[in-house]
Amino acid sequence: MENEHNKLNPEDQAKVDAFLKQGYNETDRKPYRPLKLLGILLVIVSFITVGSLMLARMSGVH
């Protein structure tokens, strides 16, 4: 059963389907690595923490 809102004739729909099957809009992506992201966040937070502690000691806050 065809969609009632489909306004393309069968020839044009075939062209659209053929274009979409070419994979022109597909992009290759690296696999998602949650542990790598967690490690990067841990390094950044640790760096900010150490920096703030050094700044506090240099300012005389104990």
Q: Considering its fold, how many domains does the chain have in total?
A: 1
Count Cα atoms within 13 angstroms, Cβ side, for 50: 6
> Which pLDDT score is estimated for 39?
98
Q: What is the pLDDT of residues 16-42, one digit of tens each?
A: 888 888 877 778 889 999 999 999 999
The domain containing residue 16 runs over which residues?
4-59
First vs last Cα of the chain: how many Å apart? 75
Query: What is the distance between the alpha carbons of residues 54 and 56, in angstroms, rounded to a whole number?
Result: 5
> Which pLDDT score is estimated for 6?
65
> Is 50 exceeded by the pLDDT of residue 1?
no
Does this model's pTM top 0.85?
no
